[in-house]
Amino acid sequence: MGFLDISNVTKSYGSVEVLHRVDIAVEEGEFLVLVGPSGCGKSTLLNMIAGLEGITSGEIAIQGRAMNGVHPSRRNIAMVFQSYALYPNMTVGQNITFGLEMHGTPKPEREAAMKRVAAMLQIDQLLDRKPGQLSGGQRQRVAMGRALVRNPDVFLFDEPLSNLDAKLRVDMRTEIKKLHQSLRTTIVYVTHDQIEAMTLSTRIAVMNKGYVQQLGTPKEIYDTPANIFVATFMGSPAMNILPTRVVLRDGVPHAQVSDAAGNVQYLRFSQQNLAAWDGREILLGIRPEAITDPEGADRKSANIQMLTNLVGVTEPAGSDTFVTMTLAGCDVIGRMRADAAVLPGASFEYAINMEKAVAFDPATEERIAP
Amino acid sequence: MSSAIQSNVVHSGRVARVVIHVVLLIAALFYLLPLFVMLINSVKPLSQILDGNMMSLPHVWTLKPWSEAWSTAQIGVEPTGLRPYFLNSIEMVVPAVAISTMMGALNGYVLTKWRFRGDTFLFGMMLFSCFIPFQIVLIPMARVLGILGIAGTVPGLILVHTVYGLGFTTLYFRNYYAAFPTELVRAAQIDGAGFFRIFWRILLPLSGPIIVVAVIWQFTNIWNDFLFGSSFAGQGSQPMTVALNNLVQSSTGSKPYNIHFAGAIIAALPTLIVYIVSGRYFVRGLMAGSVKG
Ligand SMILES: Nc1ncnc2c1ncn2[C@@H]1O[C@H](COP(=O)(O)OP(=O)(O)O)[C@@H](O)[C@H]1O
Ligand SMILES: [Mg+2]
């Protein structure tokens, strides 16, 4: 049993079920990120943890205490909203202490708590201003201050960074991470941004269409995605997915692919149990960083397969150069070192790290476990 | 506000602008003429009016018609002037406006932020009440007032006007609060504020513009109402509009037009003042929708 237990929880609006049997156990001090495309039910689940939405069936418990039907203010949670939801008619100071006031905390204590939080978030000089007079980043800080001041058991964040511009978003991301590292409070954080999910979380729940697709550490999610959806949703550029046939050569499974010129080439699998798929189609998943120039290949890998193919488009991105080629009829993206000599239209030798390749069952789109 | 208007202006030619201004000026004069006639005739001795000179300025300026209209003119059978009726109207309007505005605000709050089964239907029914003509409710309302034992009293009139205004005020506040960020209410819930606390501390302080709209609307309608006043008021509770009618009807012999004009202006004065004081907010409130969080 975890610190925050979501057991068999479903949510329906009328006859439409938008969350299906969600099971997540969050340990104390964890940073759980719920990530998924818009409309997949992340906010709904978060609001159910907060008590802002009813639970259709199942149970949500915090520290072993069932929360079904408990009022939001009695769950000892704090929430940061996407719009920040600062009270426009109150000053920053009043915004931060409103919750304490509602809980009957005496004024001197409220003031002290406000000072402590304001110092922590460096918003001391803003306390007398109204939210309308603040920049986006400052509002974000105040919203976090309002959550922090309560000393909650669980912090809930609903896309807190999506209204900020790109640079500020990265800065605030770092700050939220720092905050978590110093406070060690349990956090459930909703985002549709897979980079935020990867960088912030200790564990990720990838959601789609009301189902939790996979629950795991960022590394598990990234390296061993449970299905095609998770594989392509997490990571940028997305994982290459190509239809290939498995063939046995000297008893070892290989992926049979045709290159841009239509010639058949073979890539040896590291995953031995694919031998069972001999002669059948699978979907082969390779991340762009597993397709490199020979010098850029991972030296620790025991299975680098070389493949000569025409270069399609090159996109220098400063630190790396992304190269597109046609393989098995698909556009496949690889990530080269910035100074690799790749010329569009020319032939080039690619190094493919097949240790990192994943195979999916084309019928179920589930990963074929090794 | 003004900059927003300016940026919408399309620059027209000089000739067009002169034409527009002349037309507007003529229209303004046309509408101001009756007011002008009322004003100058209310400060004239009656003899000058009876000489047949409505449009000329007074030879002798006098405020006597005003003081007579206010305190001594014959209203029906009593020579009380309009004063007691003016006070009746105030006694009726202030609570009726306050109660219907507050209840409208609460209704709007519930209908948008505490939705329940059938809320849209309920709102539809309340909207429907805006379209029921006054005359239809006269007899049922008289029954209700009779049963409640407040027929012919100021509280009776307050009840009538509150009930009748509720559809409108609910409409105003519902539409205003529909654009009000629900996340604010949720944040307040997590902070531990209850139903009324959220209303008082978060929504109401941000409802200034729409309160002004509701107050102006209710004030002018209730103050200017004649039908309910003449149907449901008793001797001691007749409002200004009924008294004005009695003033004009009750004079025998030659009609003291100057007093009638003065009385009519006195009757119109409160609504005029309300408009002048808060008209700006009225326009702003009608256009304002959301509170940016
Ligand atoms: N009050 C509601 N009534 C009906 N459907 C809703 C309601 N709120 C959300 N939904 C539906 O539930 C699904 C999940 O919504 P949400 O949790 O907001 O998604 P996300 O936060 O992942 O973008 C969506 O398909 C949405 O249309
Ligand atoms: Mg959402």
Of A51, A73, A81, the CB nearest to B183: A81
**Alpha-carbon gap: A102 to the closest alpha carbon of chain B (Å):** 5
Phi then psi dihedrals of residue A87, to 5 deg: -75, 115
Instruction: Give the CATH fold of the A4-233 domain.
Output: Rossmann fold (3.40.50)
**Alpha-carbon gap: B190 to the closest alpha carbon of chain A (Å):** 5
Q: What residue ranges of chain A are covered by domains with CATH 3.40.50.300?
A: 4-233
DSSP string covering A287-346: -GGGEE-GGGS-TT-S-EEEEEEE---EEE-SSEEEEEEEETTEEEEEEEETT----TTS
Residues from A contacting B (CB-CB < 8 Å) are 47, 50-52, 71-73, 77-79, 81-89, 98-99, 102-103, 131-132, 146
Indicate which ligand has the atom closest to the C-alpha of A162: 2
CA B47 – CA B31 distance, rounded (Å)? 27
What class does CATH assign to A240-360? mainly beta
pTM (2 d.p.): 0.83
Helix (H) or strand (E) holding A281: strand A281-286
Q: Does B14 touch chain A (CB under 8 A)?
A: no
Q: What residue ranges of chain A are covered by domains with CATH 2.40.50.140?
A: 240-360
Nearest one of A49, A33, A58, A15 to A207, comparing CA atoms: A33
b (16+ CB within 10 A) / e for B241-258: bbbbbbbbeeeeeeebbb
Identify the burial level of A221 via C-beta atoms within 10 angstroms of its C-beta, where 0-12 means exposed, 13-18 middle and 19 or more buried: buried
Domain ranges of chain B: 2-64, 83-288
Helix (H) or strand (E) holding A23: strand A16-26
The gap from C-alpha B245 to its chain's centroid, in whole angstroms, comes to 19
- CA–CA distance from A323 to each of A234, A314, A341, A351, B64 (Å)? 20, 4, 11, 13, 96
To the nearest 10 degrees (0 to 180), the angle between helices A92-102 and A107-121 is 130
> What's the pLDDT score for residue B289?
46
> Starting from the edge strand earliest in sequence, which strands make up the sheet with A186-191, in order?
A77-80, A154-158, A186-191, A31-35, A203-208, A211-216
CA A85 – CA B120 distance, rounded (Å)? 26
* pLDDT tens per residue across all 293 residues of chain B: 444 445 566 666 888 889 999 999 999 999 999 989 999 989 988 888 888 777 888 888 888 889 988 988 888 778 888 899 999 999 999 999 999 999 999 999 999 999 899 999 999 998 888 888 888 889 999 999 999 999 889 999 999 999 999 999 999 999 999 988 999 999 999 999 999 999 999 999 989 889 998 999 999 999 999 999 989 988 888 999 998 998 888 766 778 888 899 999 999 999 989 888 887 777 666 665 444 44
Residues enclosing ligand 1, CB less than 6 A?
A: A 13, 18, 36, 38-44
CA B98 – CA B95 distance, rounded (Å)? 5
Identify the burial level of B171 via C-beta atoms within 10 angstroms of its C-beta, where 0-12 means exposed, 13-18 middle and 19 or more buried: buried
The gap from C-alpha A30 to its chain's centroid, in whole angstroms, comes to 15
> What's the pLDDT score for residue B1?
40
Question: Ligand 1, from A18, A33, A208: best to mutate by most atoms within 8 Å of Cβ?
Answer: A18
Q: Measure A44 CA to ligand 1 centroid, in angstroms.
A: 6
Q: Does B126 touch chain A (CB under 8 A)?
A: no
What class does CATH assign to B83-288? mainly alpha
> What's the pLDDT score for residue B278?
81
Q: Which residues of chain B are within 8 Å of residue A132 when distances are taken between CB atoms?
A: 292
**Alpha-carbon gap: A87 to the closest alpha carbon of chain B (Å):** 7
Residue of B nearest to A43 (CA): B183
Task: Say how many residues make up chain A.
Answer: 370
Q: What is the DSSP letter of A238?
A: P
Contact at CB, B186 and A131, closer than 8 angstroms: no
Complex ipTM value: 0.84
As given in the structure block, the two tokens for residue A368 are 């074929």
CA A280 – CA A255 distance, rounded (Å)? 10
CA B42 – CA B64 distance, rounded (Å)? 9
For residue A155, the cross-strand partners are A78, A187
Of A87, A89, A102, the CB nearest to B192: A102
- Map A62-126 to HEC letters: ECCEECCCCCHHHCCEEEECCCCCCCCCCCHHHHHHHHHHHCCCCHHHHHHHHHHHHHHHCCHHH
To the nearest 10 degrees (0 to 180), the angle between helices B83-113 and B154-178 is 40
Question: Ligand 1, from A10, A11, A13, A22: best to mutate by most atoms within 8 Å of Cβ?
Answer: A13
> What's the pLDDT score for residue B251?
61
For residue A249, the cross-strand partners are A252
Q: Which residues, 6+ apart, have CB-to-CB distance to B268 below 8 Å?
A: none
All residue ranges of chain A with pLDDT < 50 are none
Residue of B nearest to A158 (CA): B183
As given in the structure block, the two tokens for residue A282 are 């699978």
Under a CB-based contact definition with an 8 Å cutoff, are residues A190 and A169 in contact? no
Contact at CB, B197 and A146, closer than 8 angstroms: no
Of B186, B202, B292, the CB nearest to A87: B202
